[in-house]
């Protein structure tokens, strides 16, 4: 496999752009191919079967684009479809999910004792953060809380806004999250409201943003397979299953330039 091949990334919408941006900043020589499944967002309200179907279709699309690694830039898809994608492509293309790199880093650093996790209903119901962290360190307490309105709110552009502040305050005031020392943003949309979350906690709680952690992990995986690119990258490619103005605006914010979006219907393939 050639090191000049692209890095594939997918999510249900704009949230995965936080991961794509982190990878781009860390690995500027890598070409990115991003698929935003905007026709089916948010994944957090879909059945496990639907999420697996969408994820497998997108993974096949990225594999056909000759991607050398695929990043599931979505906690919901990571929790529901990762094993299926590994079975489907794992011996041909490395697959990276959003959860395992974060768990590895938290266990290695061993700084936190009472860890909050906020995410979609599907991610929280899968309970993977709690299961994986406590399997490695039973002294760490993990407190999950479903926050289903946040991803929808962000996709509609409501952040740094009175509405977002009210919704965030309502969720984070939950008694379940009382006395946490850290909070995992277990949805790739949530870094877009990280400033508001930090403001709520007045910097008294450590905020764990998986995007940079996953970017570091992608770099280490590419190094392991000797696939890091050292040449000038080709132009990034962005595909969406349904055009949305908010997605186009977000790509410009993250990448500092106008991005051409290609509408792609992969469901009949």
Supply the residues annotated as catalytic: 74, 187
Please report, to the nearest 10 degrees, the dihedral formed by the alpha carbons of residues 244, 247, 248, 249 taken in order: 120
- H, E, C per residue of 101-145: HHHHHHHHHCCCCEEEEEECHHHHHHCHHHHHHHHHCCCCEEEEE
Distance (Å, whole) CA 193 – CA 91: 37
The helix (H) or strand (E) run that includes residue 205 is: none
Torsion (CA) 69, 73, 75, 79 in degrees, nearest 10? -20
Here the tokens at position 264 are 């792609």
């Amino acid at each position: 496999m050639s090191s000049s091949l692209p890095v594939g990334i997918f999510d249900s919408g704009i949230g995965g752009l936080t991961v794509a941006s982190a990878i781009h900043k860390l690995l500027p020589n890598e070409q990115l191919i991003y698929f935003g499944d905007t026709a089916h967002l948010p994944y957090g309200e879909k059945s496990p079967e639907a999420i697996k179907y969408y994820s497998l279709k997108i993974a096949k699309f990225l594999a056909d684009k000759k991607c050398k690694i695929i990043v599931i830039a979505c906690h919901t898809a990571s929790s529901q479809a990762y094993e299926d994608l590994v079975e489907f492509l794992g011996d041909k293309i490395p697959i990276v999910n959003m959860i395992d790199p974060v768990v590895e880093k938290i266990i290695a650093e061993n700084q936190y004792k009472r860890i909050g996790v906020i995410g979609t209903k599907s991610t929280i119901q899968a309970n993977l953060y709690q299961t994986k962290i406590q399997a490695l360190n039973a002294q760490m307490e993990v407190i999950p809380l479903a926050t289903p309105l946040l991803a929808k709110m962000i996709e509609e552009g409501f952040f740094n806004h009175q509405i977002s502040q009210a919704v965030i305050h309502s969720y984070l005031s939950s008694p379940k999250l009382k006395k946490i020392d850290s909070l995992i943003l277990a949805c790739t949309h949530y870094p877009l409201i990280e400033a508001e979350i930090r403001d709520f906690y007045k910097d008294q709680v450590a905020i764990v943003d998986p995007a940079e952690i996953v970017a570091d992990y992608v770099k280490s995986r590419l190094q392991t397979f000797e696939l890091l690119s050292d040449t000038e990258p080709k132009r990034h490619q962005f595909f969406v299953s349904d055009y949305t103005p908010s997605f186009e605006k977000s790509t410009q914010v993250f990448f500092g330039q106008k991005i051409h979006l290609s509408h792609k219907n992969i469901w009949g393939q």
